[in-house]
Amino acid sequence: MHETAIVAGLMRIIERHAAQHGVRHVKSVRVKVGRLRAVEPQQLCSCFEMFAEGTVADGAQLIIDVVDVRGRCRTCATEFVIPRYHFECPHCAGKDIDVIQGQELYIESFEANDSGAADENPDRSA
């Protein structure tokens, strides 16, 4: 289950940013996850709970924003949401599609308990 690797990566970023900002306890973490990542939100949450135990994020709430998959047709440049991996342009039925959204995986923001300041620009290189 690749959720473990994802959460391990997220935890490293959270702990680094918490240290940088003098945060002692993280209240909630908001992550953006593209549908192409095939992440099971429920599994990600329980995995996060396990990893966060005993860290600055112990008991923190993991908020998952699922991002739709979007494509752009190379033939007619139409942009559209791709439902259920159906890679076909709704305008010209072209199958030459560039995926322009849906592979996201990063921390959007997190909220600290003590300072109350949310980090609006955390590392997105996860």
Amino acid at 76: C
Gap between the Cα atoms of 98 and 119, Å rounded: 32
* Angle made by CA atoms 78, 72, 83, in degrees to the nearest 5: 95
Identify the helix (H) or strand (E) that includes residue 44: helix 41-52
> Is residue 75 a contact residue for Zn ion (CB under 5 A)?
yes
One of 26, 69, 73, 82 touching Zn ion (CB under 5 A): 73
> Is residue 94 a contact residue for Zn ion (CB under 5 A)?
yes
Residues 2-41: x/- map of binding to Zn ion (CB under 5 A)?
Answer: ----------------------------------------
- Which residues here bind Zn ion, judged by CB under 5 A? 73, 75-76, 78, 89, 91-92, 94
